[in-house]
Structures are given as C-alpha cells and as structure tokens.
Structure 1
Amino acid sequence: MKSLGSIRRSFAPWNDSSAKPYISFKNVTKRFGDFTAVDDLSLDIYNREFFALLGASGCGKSTLLRMLAGFETPTSGQIILDGQDLSQTPPYRRPVNMMFQSYALFPHMTVEKNIGFGLKQDGMPKDQIAYRVAQMLKLVKLEKFASRKPHQLSGGQRQRVALARSLAKQPKVLLLDEPLGALDKKLREETQFELMDLQQDLGLTFVVVTHDQEEAMTMADRIAVMSAGKVVQVATPAEIYEAPNSRFVADFIGDVNIFDGNVVSSEGGKTQIAVSEDLTIVAEQNGSGPASGAAAFAIRPEKVRIAREAPANPGFNAVKGEIWDIGYLGDMTIYIVKLASGQTVRASRLNASRELENPIGYDEEVWVSFDDNAGVVLKD
C-alpha cells in the first residue's frame, strides 16, 4: 500500500517482507470468566518501533500489554519476544519493563533511590547502581532533583522519574500504560515529543497503551486500533487518518463527516453514490468500498469547503445548507452546516489571516463542497 501523508522517518520494517517481527502475538485470547477481553488476536511489532495500542476503555489494550509484561496469562495463544516464547517466563525474568499511569513511585524514597530500586533488588553492586542512576538522571534532565522526594516534584517531573526507573534496568522493550494521562494538556504535548526523542536516542522498542487519539497519532510509528478485544486496523498514523478501513475507524479517529447512500455506478476509477435528492457524491475508488449496494462516504472537516457562492460544477460533491453553529478555536473556525435532508456537516477553516471583515455568520445559506479525492468510500 502506498504510504499517505508525511513520514516521520524512513524506518518502516513492516513494509520489508524479509524483516522478522520482534514481538508477535499469535492467536492470543484472554478470558475473565464469561468475558473475553482479548479475542484470538494476532499482531506483529518490530524492533525499535514506537507502537501504540489505541482504543476505548474495555477494548482489551491494557490486558494485551499486561500479558506481554507477564502480569496476566493468555487463555490460549502465544506471545513471542525476540524469538522466545514467553509462556513459561515469569514477569521478573522478561526483558521488558512497564511504566504505569500512576507512576507508582515510593513516597519515602528520594528520586535517585526510586530510580535505583530495581537495580538494588537485582543485586547490582553499589558503584554500578550509582553510575546507572546518574546516567538516567542526566537522560531525563533531573540531575538537580536527585535528593528530592516525589511530593516535592511537579507532575511532569514525577513522570520523568518513573520513566528513568523503567529504563534503568535497560529493558529490550518499554511498556507504557497511559503514561501521560496525569499531565495537563500543555505538558502532555511537550512530553510526547520528549518520549519520541528519547526512544530514538535509546533505540528501544516502545509499546504504549492510550485512549488519546492525538497522543497515538503524534508519537507512534504505527497504531493498532482495537475494539471488543480485536485489532480493527494496523497502520501508520497518516494511513489510519486518511484511509480508514471501516466506519468504526473513521468515526473513532478524529472528526469526520459520514454520508450514507447507495452506489449508482463504479467504473473508470470512480464511485458514484446517491445520498439524497440534492446530493450525489463522486469519489475516487480506494479499494475498500463496495461496488454496489449501500455505501458510506467519509470525509474530514478540513477537506470540506464552505462558500456563499455555488461552486462551478454544483451537480456533484456540492450541496446547499444553512450555518447552524460556529466554533472559533483561535487557529481555526468550525462551522456546522445543516442540510435540507436534516444531516449536519462539519467544516473547518484555518484562520490564516487576522481579517475579520464580513465573516460567514449564523443562519446564512452556504454551499458545502469537496473534491472527489478528499474522502474515502467505506464498506461498513
């Protein structure tokens, strides 16, 4: 599949047929009584990949991470790490370490003792512990805070202590369970880039669990979108956003407009969908949509145009509506347009200039339009 959008780096072993996965979940199922948390799931993660498990609460993502860490045992299936079946390996002997959302720092210990705790438990000599702890403090830029207790630190600093402690034992894989959930928005955004840089510098494999779409889109090389214990789609952030493989993924990731209709024709690389009396959509075929019958067309708000004047060719991909609501967000303005059919369409405009003269206002009649390659036709 052709990659969509900008690429963070050339690193893409999943596109190399000769590359071997570093972590493999093979037909893994986990049941708790009558409840199936993970359902016959297979998934490959590659060495040095920053991989995100994304989904709503209860989708099975944290259970999957806990099975990799050894805190839960699969009901069936295999988990392979670097060629080794982990089924008989206890948590403390696995080459992984886990960082929890709560950070789980010892309140009575200083920063340096928190970081060195696992090394001390492993029986590492004191001089080596001191050297490793100093390395970790430098790595997370907390050298001046070595003697402080957790309650004397900010949320972001505690997060970095927990990260340093997780990295001190030099695991092959770092597991992060909602690692930034306790931080405020601005600090969370800053820390996302810090984690990305750190992962690049260390050359480790990071697997992060999150329900935050922006967090996954920002940090991950690839994302596995999960629902009801299954992986619905695995792809790069750009592919997940621009080419969702189902209605669920399109609706779950970001904002989206979805038009339901029936396929009129599908030929010449174009699919024509009758949505309502006043709207017919012509879209580029993308390989995932049906050739006949019911179909859905998904398009992101930033790809929808609104204007007072009718487009040059109003017969397709254009429909008249009324401004129903407006949201000014500073960097952009969101317009909610109500169509004659009763459906609302969300359009976003980047506020590229400070011009405020004659803006589109409430109750105005406008045209909504888009290009034939701006959205994607979905199977379901």
Structure 2
Amino acid sequence: MKSLGSIRRSFTPWNDPAAKPYIAFENVTKRFGDFTAVNNLSLTVFEREFFALLGASGCGKSTLLRMLAGFDEPTAGRILLDGQDLRGIPPYRRPVNMMFQSYALFPHMTVEANIAFGLKQEGMPKAEIGTRVAEMLRLVKLEQFAKRKPHQLSGGQRQRVALARSVAKRPKVLLLDEPLGALDKKLREETQFELMDLQQSLGLTFIVVTHDQEEAMTMADRIAILDKGEVMQVATPAEVYEAPSSRFVAGFVGNVNMFEGTVASRDDSGARIASSNGLTIMTKNAGAASAGSPVVFAIRPEKIKVSSRKPANDDVNVAEGEIYDIAYLGDMTVYHVKLADGHVVKTSSLNASRISDDPLSWNDRAWISFSPDAGVVLAK
C-alpha cells in the first residue's frame, strides 16, 4: 500500500469508524464583542494523539486552546472531553494542563520546587511528591539542575522545567501554546523530537498551537489548518503537504507554484490543462475537475526539475525560461526561473553531491519539467 510521504507511526484512530474522539469541538463559536474569533467550528482529537493547531496570528487557534483549558467559554456550541461537556467546569477541575510560551516559572523557586508546586497544591503526600519530581527530572534530563533557580538555566532548560511541571500532575491532556517560540532554531529543532518522544512515553494527548509550519509538520500526527476562525483542512502532515484541500492550504504550508488554467480534456488517467501562460500540463491528480472547468494546478518546488538541457518530451509539463535568482542553502539550491510571460517558477534541487554536473548561474537559459504525478489540481 502506497502512502503520501513518510509515516511517523502507525497510530491512525481517525481512520477507524469505531474509534471515539477524546476531545470534540461541536459547532463552537467564540465572539469578543463584534469580533468573531472562532466561527461555528467542529473538530475532533483522539486519545494519545499529538495534534497541532496551525495558522497565522488571529486565526483562532489560541482561543480554541483557552476554551479547552477553561479560561474562556464558548459563545455557542460545546466542547466535550471524554464524553463530558466542559461548560461551566472551572480550569482547576479539568483534567487539562497548559504550558505557556513564557513558561511562567517561579523565579524564587528551584527547579525541583517549581515541578513540585502543583503537586503540593493538590495535597499529594511528601514522599510521593519526591518520587514524582525525581521521575520528571529524569524524564527531561535535568537531574543535575534540580537545585538551580530559573535564571541559572538556559532557555532550553527552562522550557524543560515548564514541561516537567506541566506533566507532573498527569493531566489527560497537555496544551502547549507556542511552546518553542523562545528557543533558537537549532535548539527548537532538537526539542521538537524530545517533545515527540516524551508524548509517546507518557501516553498523553498533546495539543500544540503554533504558527510555525515546520514545527507542526515535525511533531504532529495530524494538523488542523485554521483561517479566520474556521478549519480549512485537518489531515496528517504528509496529506496537508502533498494533497492540500484548497489554494489557501497549498499556499500556507510550504512553498508552492500555482498555475491558473482550464481543463482541456480529461479521462480516467487524469487531465490535460491549458494554463494561462501557455504551458500545457498533464496531471494524474485531477480530482473531480471536469473538462472546461477553471482550475489551479499546484506543484511544490522540489517536484520540478531544472536543467540547462531540453528534456526529451517537450510537449507537456515542460517550459523554457531564464534563471532569475539562485539561493544556495547548503543541503539544497533554490532556483527562480522566469518564463517567457514573466511567470516566476520556484524549483529546488537537493545537493546530493559536492560537485554539480549541470551548473546553472544567473541569466542562464534553463528548462523546467515535472512528471504527471508531481502536482495536484485544486478547484478552489
């Protein structure tokens, strides 16, 4: 069985008709005065899922998190957790914990005291607190920093303390609001994998809010793309990237080239598209688009080959242009190729070897080409 992209794990309860969602947002609306932050939104999350809410600032993702945590109540609709309607239940009575971007550590307390704080508030016996704190310190690899204060730690270490404190009470659901935003790029990448490992070892349900596409793609089992308080698509990272449901999703996640056109003909094997810039496109991924309908053909830069030599098949999926810009990124090189009508096509090539056998430079004539299964037709 073929799949879109790599599979991180075989955990796919959303594909099981008998599986019951653990968290359900049912027709939820949230208004702040005249502003609608969340608009009649429905969404489900399964137990032990690492779920990401991805979108630009103001799309409603943090509002969803706050309503689930109990800091805000829906204007309309309801939120269910394990079958229980959460309306009217205060935050401290919900089996949910929230980790904020600021970490909110107590500056006058040591690392172990910060982790133990919530357990003491719950009245857990002292011996059990000591055991739980030691377990959390081992889990986040901070045993030797137990006696330090937050100001004596690096940003990544403070993030781990906040995480340990959040999971020490064994919440059913952990909510993470931009949890890695304060970290530098390299540390952020390392911590993403640590969060994934931690989530699976604890067996908890994680919901993360982020505007960072790479962060969501790396960590999440599924991603909900939000825009203006509405869900644009919910799917696995590979499905969101390789099979976006709309122009918005295609443009929001990663880089993409879009060609406006009309379906000239189609059959069971795909469609032939006449694009507005004269490029003839043959695609196997035409969806439900019918002959004569206006469509958008979307294709990712890495799916397009760029070469100084004209491809053998010059009838479809081929165009000549000029190298307009080049960016060498180490692991790959990005080319911008300007076609005859001025349309700039973005391509990227993996630098698999140290020396290129087809070097291209600014202002060189070049050919772009792609296979029939490289892109996808979007009807909206």
Task: Say whether the fold is shared (TM-score over 0.5).
Answer: yes
- Output aligned runs, 1:132-211, within 5 Å: 132-211=132-211
For residues 70-85 of structure 1, the aligned pairs below 5 Å read 70-85=70-85
Q: Match for 2:152: what amino acid?
A: Q
Report the Cα distance in structure 2 between the residues aligned to 1:291 and 1:141, rounded to whole angstroms: 59
- Counterpart of 1:377 in structure 2 is 377
| Cα distance between partner residues in 1 of 2:243 and 2:183 | 31
Identity among equivalent pairs (%): 71
> Gapped runs of 5+ residues in structure 1?
none
Rounded Cα–Cα distance in structure 1 between residues aligned with 2:277 and 2:197: 52
Question: What residue number does 2:22 align with?
Answer: 22
Q: Any conservation in 2 of the 1:299–1:374 contact (CA below 8 Å)? A: yes
Alignment of 1:294-305 (within 5 A): 294-305=294-305
**Cα separation, 2, equivalents of 1:152 and 1:133:** 19
SS in 2 for 1:88: coil
- Cα deviation, residue 268, structure 1: 2.8
CA distance in 1, matches of 2:171, 2:227: 29
| Mapping 1:19-168, distance limit 5 Å | 19-168=19-168
Q: Given the superposition, is the C-alpha separation of residues 290 and 47 from structure 1 closer, same or farther in structure 2, using an over 3 Å criterion? A: farther
Structure 1 stretch displaced more, 290-299 or 74-83: 290-299
Shift of 1:287: 2.1
User: 1:119: how far off?
Assistant: 1.1
The residue number in structure 2 matching 1:368 is 368
Distance 1:201 1:231 in 2: 30
SS in 2 for 1:21: coil
> Residue 231 of structure 2 aligns with which residue?
231
Deviation at 1:310, TM superposition (A): 1.4
For 1:224, the aligned partner's letter is: A
CA shift at 1:269, angstroms?
2.6
**Can you list the C-alpha shifts for 1:170-192, whole angstroms capped at 9, x where unaligned?**
00000000000000000000000
Deviation at 1:264, TM superposition (A): 1.0
* 1:3–1:239 Cα contact (<8 Å) kept: no
Alignment correspondent of 1:334: 334
- After superposition, give the CA deviation of every residue in 1:45-76 in whole Å (9 maximum; x if it has no partner): 00000000000000000000100000110001
SS, match of residue 345 in structure 1: strand
Partner residue in 2 for 1:311: 311
Counterpart of 1:265 in 2: which secondary structure?
strand
**Contact 1:112/1:133 (8 A) holds in 2:** yes
What runs of 5+ residues in structure 2 fail to find an aligned partner? none
The alpha-carbon distance between structure 1 residues 98 and 288, as it changes in their structure 2 partners (threshold 3 A), is farther
Post-superposition CA distance 1:63-105 (Å, at most 9, x none): 0010000011000111000111100211000001000000000
Distance 1:123 1:370, change over 3 A: same
Q: Distance in 2 between matches of 1:292 and 1:148?
A: 68
Q: Is the 8 A contact 1:278 1:319 kept in 2?
A: no
Deviation of 1:2 after TM superposition, in Å, equals 7.3
> Helix, strand or coil: the match of 1:368?
strand
1:289 and 1:188, CA in 2 relative to 1: closer, same or farther beyond 3 A?
Answer: farther
- Provide the secondary structure at the position in 2 that maps to 1:101: coil
**For 1:326 and 1:171, how far apart are their aligned partners in 2?**
49
Output the CA distance in 1 between the equivalents of 2:325 and 2:88. Answer: 58
Q: State the distance in 1 between where 2:209 and 2:274 align.
A: 40
Structure 2 contact 259–276 (Cα < 8 Å) conserved: no
2: distance between equivalents of 1:101 and 1:278? 48
Cα contact 1:28–1:77 (8 A) shared by 2: yes
CA distance in 1, matches of 2:181, 2:21: 29
AA in 2 matched with 1:161: V
CA distance, structure 1, for counterparts of residue 288 and residue 180 of structure 2: 34
* Higher mean C-alpha deviation, range 356-365 or range 140-149: 356-365
- In 1, the alpha carbon distance for the partners of 2:191 and 2:277 equals 49
Distance, in Å, in 2 between the alignment partners of 1:289 and 1:44 is 29
TM-score normalised over the length of structure 1: 0.98
Q: Could you say which residue in structure 2 is the equivalent of 1:261?
A: 261
**2:253 and 2:341 mapped to 1: Cα distance?**
25
Give the distance between the partners of 1:24 and 1:3, measured in 2 at CA.
Answer: 27
Letter in 2 for 1:368: I
Relative to structure 1, the CA distance from residue 196 to residue 79 in structure 2 (aligned partners, 3 Å threshold; closer, same or farther) is: same
Pairs aligned (count) = 380
Q: In 1, distance between residues paired with 2:26 and 2:269?
A: 37
Cα deviation, 1:195-230, whole Å, max 9, x if unaligned, reads 000111011100000000000000000000000000
Seen in structure 2, the aligned counterparts of structure 1 residues 155 and 94 have a Cα distance that, compared at 3 Å, is: same
Q: How far apart are the structure 1 equivalents of 2:278 and 2:10?
A: 45
- Following superposition, the deviation at residue 122 of structure 1 comes to 1.4
Contact kept in structure 1, 2:62 and 2:209, CA below 8 Å: yes
3-state DSSP of counterpart to 1:175: strand
AA partner of residue 245 (structure 2): N
The answer to whether the 8 A contact 1:297-1:376 is kept is yes
Report deviation, 1:308. 1.4
